Amino acid sequence: MGYDLLKGKKGIIFGALDENSIAWKTAERVHEEGGTFVLTNAPIAMRMGQINELAKKTKSEIIPADATSEEDLANLVTKSMEILGGKLDFVLHSIGMSVNVRKGRLYTDEKYDFTTKGWDVSALSFHKVMQSLYKADAMNQWGSIVALTYMAAQRTFPDYNDMADNKAYLESVARSFGYFFGKEKKVRVNTISQSPTPTTAGQGVKGFDGFISYAEKMSPLGNATALDCANYTISLFSDLTKKVTMQNLFHDGGFSNTGVSQEVIERFSD
């Protein structure tokens, strides 16, 4: 299925770890739609080697970059423009990691060094990515920058832990940077608030299996898959959404606006 929606467009895709990753599916779909891109991930994630398969399949080059390192990001932006032969039209930030979650620390027992590291990786990195692009004047007019987020930024999901705070910050950065990128470069910046999705990052959250089934039963359209998310992202990279910016866009089968569903009521009825 391809509509040539991204024909001639160039970009950078962060965060494809394995074939379950939302960024992996997005890279496959961007390729099908005629876009060309550089793949990037943290040097440590490269060691697992799976990204090479994706690069081969999508005829892309890989440039390692730690998204918390300004130096790595500056290098990534310069080299990507060299490889792709010009300025960029789209960038996907699909990065998240909480050290507190990984180490099993509860929200009420955060180790703040862990909190700071998780915030840098999951939230501030989005500012760093955009500042690198902005300073290098790397985006074409009407380009599009997308980051992925989760509804725990607005409502409490206890096991989402400090990632909830990181996502709130990330969404705020999208609005704040979106203003400057819009005014000065005619570039749009949005976040997609995605359903729970079975990926490495998703499954790191405690109680994920129960939660994903609950979300499925609460959402009138069912949970959005990683492929659904990739398709939505394509629409935001395309010229069909030029005036959408500074938005947090829920992509969750209706979960965020559902109070309760019939299936959930039945589960609790005697």
Query: Pairing relation of β-strands 188-194 and 61-62?
Result: unpaired
Rounded to 5°, angle at Cα 164 from 159 and 169: 170
Residue 190 φ then ψ, to 5°? -140, 160
What angle do the packed helices 226-237 and 22-32 form, to 10 degrees?
A: 50
Interface with ligand NAD, residue 196, by CB under 6 A: yes
Out of 12, 42, 84, 101, which residue is the one contacting ligand NAD (CB under 6 A)?
A: 42
SS3 content of the chain, % helix, strand, coil (to 5): 50, 15, 35
What angle do the packed helices 125-135 and 70-84 form, to 10 degrees?
A: 50
Contact 38, 12 (CB under 8 A): yes
Q: For the residues of 58-118, what is the DSSP string, one character each?
A: HT-EE----TT-HHHHHHHHHHHHHHHTS-EEEEEE-----HHHHTT--GGG--HHHHHHH
Interface with ligand NAD, residue 45, by CB under 6 A: yes
- The closest residue (CB) to ligand NAD is 202
13-21, 31-39, 81-89, 98-106 -> range binding ligand NAD (CB under 6 A):
13-21
* Residue 224 Cβ vs ligand NAD, minimum distance, rounded to whole Å: 9
Instruction: Return the number of the residue (140 or 177) whose C-beta is nearest ligand NAD.
Output: 177
Interface with ligand NAD, residue 15, by CB under 6 A: yes
Instruction: Return the number of the residue (140 or 224) whose C-beta is nearest ligand NAD.
Output: 224
Q: Name residues whose C-beta falls within 8 Å of residue 63's C-beta, 6 or more positions apart in sequence.
A: 38, 39, 40, 75, 76, 79, 80, 83
78-86, 93-101, 177-185, 253-261 -> range binding ligand NAD (CB under 6 A):
93-101
Interface with ligand NAD, residue 41, by CB under 6 A: yes
Interface with ligand NAD, residue 253, by CB under 6 A: no
Report 210-249 residues binding ligand NAD (CB under 6 A).
Answer: none
Rounded to 5°, angle at Cα 240 from 236 and 242: 70
Interface with ligand NAD, residue 26, by CB under 6 A: no
**Site track for ligand NAD across 122-161, x = CB under 6 A:** --------------------------xxx-----------
Interface with ligand NAD, residue 58, by CB under 6 A: no
Out of 94, 238, 241, 247, which residue is the one contacting ligand NAD (CB under 6 A)?
A: 94
* Residue 170 Cβ vs ligand NAD, minimum distance, rounded to whole Å: 8
Interface with ligand NAD, residue 121, by CB under 6 A: yes
Binding site for ligand NAD (CB under 6 A): 14-15, 17, 21-23, 41-42, 45, 66-68, 94-97, 121, 148-150, 194, 196-197, 199-202
